[in-house]
Structure 1
Amino acid sequence: MLLEELWLEDYLNMGMVVGNNPSIQPGVVFDYSHCWLIEIGNNVTIAPEAYLLAHDASSKRLIGFTRIGRVVVEDDVFIGARAIIMPNVTLGKGCIVAAGSVVTKSVTAGDVVAGNPAKVISRVETYINKCQDQLVESRKYDHSYTIRGNISSESKKQMVEELQNNNGFIR
């Protein structure tokens, strides 16, 4: 699902490349001044308020030049909320960037990175296994427990109680 399609269309018209089936959430910022240096693959999720920057002007006052570089997001990547992707970074196929991370170096396919600066904390396979183990013991909820599923006040209260000190999972 593309939010603000006309806005995204402007970036595409200026040369940014976006593959099929992206999920670009509200508040995502693409580097307007160098958006043609940004390439996003297929089946990529970019969570709210993430930044993809193809330039870094911190050097401008120091040496008279702004550093620029490509940002390449390969297929099946997840970029968490408020993550910042800096210039000259490739996010390898299927990697996960945790919320709030600052990515200053390329990420290998299948890695999970977190922090500032972002560092490898896991492999996606390990993360999947961890989530699957948690899923067995956790509360599970269907679509009716979402805003789009018209969650009831009663169901909201139920979730608050059930998730007091636990994680849950929603379909």
Structure 2
Amino acid sequence: MSGICNGLCILGFFMLNQVLAQDTQVLFTIERSLNEDQIVYFLHLDEAGLLRKENPVSLKWLDNQKTGELVPVNWIKKKFGYDIRILSHDGDRLTFKFVSYDKKIFTIKKDLFGNYAVFAKINERVMKIRHIYLEIDGGSFWKPNITQVAVMGFQELANTRIKEIFNP
């Protein structure tokens, strides 16, 4: 009897993890020149498959240098650096800016395949965003000297990779 119970418990655990994985997906990442760590942005959906009303996007550090695990981003880095400010939230569409850079608007919406993704204007065309790279050259904790930002994505129909590099 305990063998059957253990088997059912294990099956339930895998089913729970599958459900949790279905309502959370990786949207995009930010990498910095300072180290190999990355900031990973996650999308959270409700039971109907729409963007959650509360906290639809979360972020964590991927600690590549030490453990290789996802760890929480501290309050200071969220508040002044990597968190997002939601401009509008419309069920299956959300627009935001970064708290540290308000000159570029990003939109979360469904792509051509019905999956949520982040879109922004790159080189005067709306592209699907997958990765952002920050080149940091000195500065301080409160005001790092970001010399270059590279936003990488692709045009869906042509499946063409696009990169926009700019100085913030």
Same fold (TM over 0.5): no
In which range does the TM-score fall when normalised by the shorter chain?
under 0.3
Please identify which structure carries the higher helix content.
Answer: 1
Please identify which structure carries the higher strand content.
Answer: 2
TM-score by length of 2: 0.24
* Structure with bigger RCO (C-alpha 8 Å, 6+ apart): 2
